[in-house]
Amino acid sequence: MPERIDRGTEVVVHRVQHIALAVVLACAAAVPAAAQAPLAPVWDSVSAILRTPAVASAGYVRFNLPRRDFTVRMGDVTLAVPLEAGAWAGFTGTAREAMTMGDLVVTRTELGPVEAELQRQRLDVTGIHDHLVGEEPRLTSLHFQGEGAAVDLARRLDSVLSRTGTPRPVTAAAAPPVTIDTGLVFSALGQHGRAAGNVAQLAFDLVRRKVRWHGHTLVPALAFGSPVAIQQINRSRAVATGSLAILAPQVGPVLRAMAANGVLAEALHGHMVDETPPVYVVHFWCDGPLAGVVQGLRAVLDAAR
């Protein structure tokens, strides 16, 4: 069994998601078709093997693998998929020399078979941890990395995915009307994102240095992006979760800002192994009025910068 990789204290949580939003929000992350270069043919081949669309993202190609086969609840809240159950794999490089990184969301019964298959397929495990406390069903996040020819990597990953209940082929759902107050969310957080239904998502880059791994300069959005997802439950309540990737000097200020602003730090650990400099990831949970949630998150983001 692979070694459990964890930096710091694991006190976990992420909150989760709605079935129809998973692919809609992921695809919305892509640059508009008119503004982006066509994807290389190899990514069509990878898409066919993984049975999920290739989505052009910020410097890499993303393949979303949402766990729409179960509904996750935290207490009285049914969580939308983009908040936690949105597993994915990202690829960068060329057809002959590619790298993949990603995050698989697995159930307790799937964990052992998935770990064993990752080892058989020569895909490195770089993190195993929970992102939720008290969720039903209980989930584990498993981070992986691999190098090789793109199609070969896809076949190896497909074998791993076959050990899970991940629904495939992944198909896009019609975008539900936006009901969350995006004006409030994006203004308070100082950045625009995307939204579908009652969920808004934003992505931040909080590491201002190049990060290297085994001679590679890593793509920030692929290796150490900081996603934030906010779900409006009703007019008086919203929940938020996310992961902030930061360097060591930022950890203390971020944790203090969370404690001072009603944002619960749920986990502190790493998603990679042997990167330089080391990147730490703080997962959080926030529950309250929408205005209070985004104001608290803004204070935390300011502390991280």
pLDDT, tens digit, for every residue of 248-262? 999 999 999 999 999
Judge whether residue 185 has pLDDT over 90: yes
Question: Residues 31-48: what's their mean pLDDT?
Answer: 75
Q: pLDDT of 78-97, one tens digit each?
A: 999 988 889 999 999 999 99
Give the tokens for residue 40: 């290389």
Judge whether residue 4 has pLDDT over 80: no
Comparing 130-134, 172-176, 235-239, 245-249, the range with the smallest average pLDDT is: 130-134
Looking up tokens 């934003």 gives 202
Distance, CA of 283 to CA of 280 (rounded, Å): 10
- Residue 50's pLDDT is 98
Question: Residues 123-142: what's their mean pLDDT?
Answer: 90
Point out which residues pair with 202 in neighbouring strands. Answer: 228
Question: Residues 282-287: what's their mean pLDDT?
Answer: 95
Distance, CA of 67 to CA of 87 (rounded, Å): 7
Residue 276 sits at φ, ψ, to 5 deg, of: -130, 120
Judge whether residue 6 has pLDDT over 50: no
Q: At what angle do helices 41-50 and 150-161 cross, to 10 degrees?
A: 10
Mean pLDDT for the chain? 88
Instruction: Give the distance, in angstroms, between the CA of residue 265 and the centroid of all CA atoms in the same chain.
Output: 17
Return the exposure string of 5-29: e unless at least 16 CB atoms fall within 10 Å of the residue's CB, then b: bebeeeebbbbbbbbbbbbbbbbbb
Give the tokens for residue 98: 């590619």
Band of residue 133 on the pLDDT scale cut at 50, 70, 90: confident
- Residue 24's pLDDT is 42
280 sits in the region (left: phi over 0; alpha: psi -120 to 50; else beta) called beta
Band of residue 124 on the pLDDT scale cut at 50, 70, 90: very high
Question: Residues 240-269: what's their mean pLDDT?
Answer: 96
Which of 66, 85, 54 is CA-nearest to residue 231?
85
Whether 293 and 230 have beta carbons less than 8 Å apart is answered as yes
**Can you give the residue ranges of every domain in the chain?**
21-161, 182-304
Question: Residues 180-198: what's their mean pLDDT?
Answer: 97
Band of residue 27 on the pLDDT scale cut at 50, 70, 90: very low
Looking up tokens 């625009």 gives 192
Q: At what angle do helices 108-120 and 150-161 cross, to 10 degrees?
A: 150
Contacts of 90 (CB under 8 A, 6+ apart): 57, 60, 61, 62, 63, 100, 101, 102, 219, 222
Judge whether residue 101 has pLDDT over 90: yes
How long, in residues, is the chain?
305
Q: pLDDT of 138-156, one tens digit each?
A: 999 999 999 999 999 999 9
Q: pLDDT of 43-78, one tens digit each?
A: 999 999 999 999 999 899 999 999 999 999 988 999
Band of residue 13 on the pLDDT scale cut at 50, 70, 90: very low
Percentage, residues of the chain above pLDDT 90: 79
Query: Residue type for 196, please?
Result: A
Band of residue 19 on the pLDDT scale cut at 50, 70, 90: very low
**Long-range contacts from 205-211, C-beta under 8 angstroms, 24+ separation:** 206/244, 206/245, 206/246, 206/250, 206/301, 206/304, 206/305, 207/245, 207/246, 207/247, 207/279, 209/247, 209/277, 211/275, 211/276, 211/277, 211/279
Distance, CA of 166 to CA of 67 (rounded, Å): 5
Other beta carbons within 10 angstroms of residue 134's beta carbon come to 10
Whether 298 and 184 have beta carbons less than 8 Å apart is answered as no
Judge whether residue 183 has pLDDT over 80: yes
Question: Residues 241-251: what's their mean pLDDT?
Answer: 97
- Residue 37's pLDDT is 62
Give the tokens for residue 171: 């198909």
